[in-house]
Amino acid sequence: MLKTVKTTPYTDQKMGTAGLRKKSKIATQENYIENFVQSVFDAIGGVKGQTFILGGDGRYFNKVAIQKIMKMSAANGMKKMIVGQNGFISTPTSSRVLLDNKADGGFVLTASHNPGGINGDFGIKYAVASGGQCPTAVSDKIYENTKKISEYKILEADDVDLSKIGTQKLGDMEIEIIDPVQIYADMMSSMFDFAAIRKLFAGGFTFVFDAMNAVTGPYARKIFVEMLGASPDSVVNDVPLEDFGGLHPDPNLIYAKKLVERMYSDDAPDMGSANDGDGDRNMILGKKFFVTPSDSLAIITDNYKYIPAYKNGIYGVAKSAATSTAVGRVAKALGIGYYEVPTGWKYFCNLMDSNRITFCGEESFGTGSSHIREKDGIWAILFWLNIIAATGKSVEQITREHWQKYGRSYYMRNDYDGIDTEVANKLMSDLEARMPSLAGKQFGSFTVKEAKPFIYNDPVDGSSTKNGLIVYFTDNSRIVYRLSGTGTNGATLRIYLERYETKLLDEDVEKMLEELADVSRAIAEVTERTGKAKADLLT
Ligand code: G1P
Ligand code: ZN
């Protein structure tokens, strides 16, 4: 039975860098998800006759929210919903399914790399027909709707059984349950040289993938173990859990601690890797060796010829402004287009749709290509395996040779967490106001060349976005300042440090960036304003 339910607005449903993201205790409030979903439907003029993709990373509240969204979609006249088996789907797979089915939109229920469980976070990513997350103009409209919503539509019906592949009806809406793992595995085997990677594993190459108890465990088992012949114990934490077993599913040196310890031990496998909660982030490690995501993007670009899917050539590349400039040097050498965009994957999508770029990436462990409109964790790992299989070189060797060829960007992100929002906003606006006066000033051994906000003018839709503040120094070092748009606890100030070297290629990163870190605090008056003498998190 179709029901119209009266509701009152929540005032905090503004989408951040990647969808709506909230503490689970907030997202599970009465009508919270319903209000948001109805506001999306209303913002796009209703979903009558449309097709949507739906699934999640399996975190707490996934199961409940999925049932609500299916019933609301049916009540709003949607024609078809394509749902991941048991309610699971990784973000990259969702994008692929959306494109393959020419669907009108999709929801991935995830707070990405944020912890899950009742004390963790819940979230919804909303993708549009192009396969990527919705543009700002749409998210603004959704936010307006959430502030005035008064009712939503829902079907009163039994819960849908999502365990079996196939189609069924919910009211007048068709529900198609798909096997996302198979779809994703097919896509990967069509892009990479699986025979060469199989040979690599058969030859004794050792490998570990940490799924961090999140969505990619089954994908990794299927691809790395069943299809490519990696040993069964090379895939760890591969059963998705509602609270990710207490892990913070962010594949970086801090949160993937066990994996990092193993990769820095004497019996480390040849390559280590991990994904985040919804499978779009990745980390690449060699034996006692870490590849920064910025370097990974540069190395991937420089080695595209080894990959069957790209061997006939690539368009340009893009990176977020905060990401190191390493890939820019490769683009120059290859003579391909090079773009710098604001933080957030959605800014790459127009460039991919218009064939301006093939690869893109962010320092936050996101790498991807135009095969979908999201970053793709397992794709990046397969790319590395394919390069290794083709060249016979180790992760470390590949990276060191890259530095020899192009120089090295020592790079680090410093996060200052849990700052009072007003203090953080004022720090940024005051710094922006001071920027014109910084040029020519000396800070320790660094001299400012130029300081200005980062402004991106999209060459495709003409939109203009301001995101972060950049200080350029005369020696090619850079500091980028911005506030996080995904946090759920006060404000997080992110300071990105980069120092470029052509001769000193084998130094300790923290040491190389120590002075620049001091300078970054001095320029923005971080300690005076936040009371923090040091960053809370270095990645
Ligand atoms: C963070 C990352 C950004 C990424 C986003 C979604 O956003 O910094 O690169 O696109 O998560 O995964 P932020 O919290 O910095 O706004
Ligand atoms: Zn993610």
In this chain, the answer to whether the domains covering 2-178 and 183-406 adopt an identical fold is yes
Say which ligand is closest to the CA of 111: 2
For the chain, the structural domain boundaries read 2-178, 183-406, 408-538
Q: Is pLDDT above 80 for 488?
A: no
- What is the Cα–Cα distance from 300 to 398, expressed in whole angstroms? 10
- pLDDT computed for residue 486 by the predictor: 79
Instruction: Using the Cα atoms of residue 79, residue 85, residue 88 and residue 89 in order, give the sign of their dihedral.
Output: negative
CB atoms within 10 A of CB 169: 10
> What separation in Å is there between the alpha carbon of 272 and the centre of ligand 1?
23
Ligand 1 pocket mutation pick from 14, 17, 417 by most atoms within 8 angstroms of CB: 17
Ligand 1 pocket mutation pick from 250, 362, 411 by most atoms within 8 angstroms of CB: 362
- pLDDT computed for residue 263 by the predictor: 98
C-beta 91 within 6 A of ligand 1: no
Q: Is pLDDT above 80 for 291?
A: yes
- What is the Cα–Cα distance from 114 to 487, expressed in whole angstroms? 9
Known catalytic residue: 437?
no
Q: Is pLDDT above 90 for 136?
A: no
Of 3.30.420.40, 3.30.310.50, 3.30.1280.10, 1.10.3720.10, which CATH number belongs to 408-538? 3.30.310.50
Q: Per this entry, what is the length of the chain?
A: 539
Residues 283-313 as b or e (16 or more Cβ within 10 Å = b): bbbbbebbbbbbbbbbbbbbbbebbebbeee
Homologous superfamily assigned to 183-406: Alpha-D-Glucose-1,6-Bisphosphate, subunit A, domain 3 (3.40.120.10)
- What is the Cα–Cα distance from 187 to 353, expressed in whole angstroms? 19
The answer to whether 94 touches 127, Cβ cutoff 8 Å, is: yes
Between the CA of residue 199 and those of 210, 374, 386, what are the distances in Å?
22, 29, 11
Instruction: Using the Cα atoms of residue 229, residue 230, residue 231 and residue 237 in order, give the sign of their dihedral.
Output: negative
- pLDDT computed for residue 118 by the predictor: 95
> What separation in Å is there between the alpha carbon of 376 and the centre of ligand 2?
9
Q: Is pLDDT above 80 for 487?
A: no
Q: Is pLDDT above 90 for 301?
A: yes
Chain centroid to Cα 493, Å, comes to 18
Q: Which H or E run includes 76?
A: none
C-beta 123 within 6 A of ligand 1: no
- What is the Cα–Cα distance from 387 to 373, expressed in whole angstroms? 23
- What is the Cα–Cα distance from 352 to 348, expressed in whole angstroms? 6
C-beta 362 within 6 A of ligand 1: yes
> What is the position in ligand 1's atom list of the atom closest to the CA of 18?
6
Give the pTM: 0.95
Say which ligand is closest to the CA of 251: 2
C-beta 343 within 6 A of ligand 1: yes
> What is the position in ligand 1's atom list of the atom closest to the CA of 113?
12
Q: What is the pLDDT of residues 456-485, one digit of tens each?
A: 999 999 999 999 999 999 999 999 999 998
Q: What is the pLDDT of residues 172-196, one digit of tens each?
A: 999 999 999 999 999 999 999 999 9
Mean pLDDT of the chain: 96
- What is the Cα–Cα distance from 483 to 427, expressed in whole angstroms? 10
Amino acid, single-letter form, for residue 417: D
> What separation in Å is there between the alpha carbon of 471 and the centre of ligand 1?
20
pLDDT over 90 for what percent of the chain?
A: 96
- Show the tokens assigned to 34: 């319903």
Give the residue from 437, 486, 500 showing the smallest Cα distance to 110.
486
Instruction: Using the Cα atoms of residue 97, residue 76, residue 344 and residue 489 in order, give the sign of their dihedral.
Output: negative
Q: Is pLDDT above 90 for 135?
A: no
Q: Is pLDDT above 80 for 249?
A: yes
Catalytic position from the list 39, 112, 320, 370: 112
Return all residues near 266 (Cβ < 8 A) that are at least 6 apart: none
Q: What is the pLDDT of residues 374-433, one digit of tens each?
A: 999 999 999 999 999 999 999 999 999 999 999 999 999 999 999 999 999 999 999 999
- pLDDT computed for residue 435 by the predictor: 97
- What is the Cα–Cα distance from 166 to 176, expressed in whole angstroms? 6
Q: Which H or E run includes 432?
A: helix 421-434
Say which ligand is closest to the CA of 279: 2
The alpha-carbon radius of gyration of the chain (Å, integer) is: 23
Instruction: Please tell me the chain's helix, strand, coil percentages from 3-state DSSP, rounded to the nearest 5.
Output: 35, 30, 35
CB atoms within 10 A of CB 129: 15
C-beta 17 within 6 A of ligand 1: yes
Q: Which of the four pLDDT bands, split at 50, 70 and 90, describes residue 55?
A: very high
- What is the Cα–Cα distance from 519 to 234, expressed in whole angstroms? 42
- pLDDT computed for residue 505 by the predictor: 96
Between the CA of residue 517 and those of 355, 480, 525, 533, what are the distances in Å?
38, 11, 12, 11
> What separation in Å is there between the alpha carbon of 364 and the centre of ligand 1?
6
CATH topology of domain 2-178: Alpha-D-Glucose-1,6-Bisphosphate; Chain A, domain 3 (3.40.120)
